[in-house]
Amino acid sequence: MDEVKGKICIVTGSNSGIGKETALGLAEKNAKVVMVVRNIERGSMARKEIVSKSHNDNVHLMLCDLSSLESIRTFVQEFKATYERLDVLINNAGAFFRKRQVTADGFENTLAVDYLAPFILTYELLPILKSSAPSRIINISSGFYTSAKIDFNDFQSEKKYRWMRAYANAKLMILMFTYELARRLGNDRVTVNAVLPGFVATNLGKNAGSHILSLMFKLMRPFQISAQKAAETPLYLASSKDVEGITGKCFAKMKEVDTSEASHDQQTQKTLWETTLKLLGISN
């Protein structure tokens, strides 16, 4: 499990929850960890704790607002200017919003943070991932994806917004993106896999904007697994020889799992890819 020693690893949303525990686990394996955070104060506190626990000073903070295309592209430029390679990219950051909100770029917020951000971040980092091959991409999805239904006629939930449906849709899109990207990468020696972390005690509901929802999440805590336990699978995918060369799969509890028939629909995956490129203004 020491395949990640000395390698450069990006973890988004790493100031708390699964991301923080994943960053800690990578640091303990002597990786060079780049913590991508939105808030410098919380990020600094998390970094200090990770360095103290891992005895690894090679943990670095980089700022990025994943709801902003400009911020993501600026981050990519700064990363490439600082680092010559990228061995592991872990798209972990996630959020949901009880009321429909729109980013500065005009995207529905849940879609922007949970799907568009990992898509554009991965897309922009592909050249350095390819030049660093063999390299690995790990996308964090959610079991909520099973209740999703992608409507390309209402892609940004303008006609009807339901927060849980928006979140589930984004997590289904992450799965489809994983499978489609793996197919497009082919033999480039860049693997991409997804993770279903389970029912995890994290700060995911902090943007819910509802006292009732916040209370609901607190009441569910006794039935949730720890972020440390949930981080075991992304750590496994980042560092284990067992998954070397394996791509286009989904994992839970460090084992490959099958996902729904809908998630494997290649025509929908292709339509989603093309729709996303068009939305982001990327010419394929």
Residues noted as catalytic:
167
| Token code pair at residue 208 | 């819910």
Residues 33 and 11: beta-carbon distance below 8 Å: yes
Main-chain phi, psi angles of 24, to 5 degrees: -60, -45
Number of residues that this document lists for the chain: 284
Smallest CA-to-CA distance from 69 within 110, 138, 118 is with: 118
Which residues, including other chains, have CB under 8 Å from residue 146's CB and lie 6 or more apart?
Answer: 168, 260
Distance separating alpha carbons of residues 5 and 24, to the nearest angstrom: 13
Distance separating alpha carbons of residues 259 and 168, to the nearest angstrom: 14
Distance separating alpha carbons of residues 112 and 93, to the nearest angstrom: 11
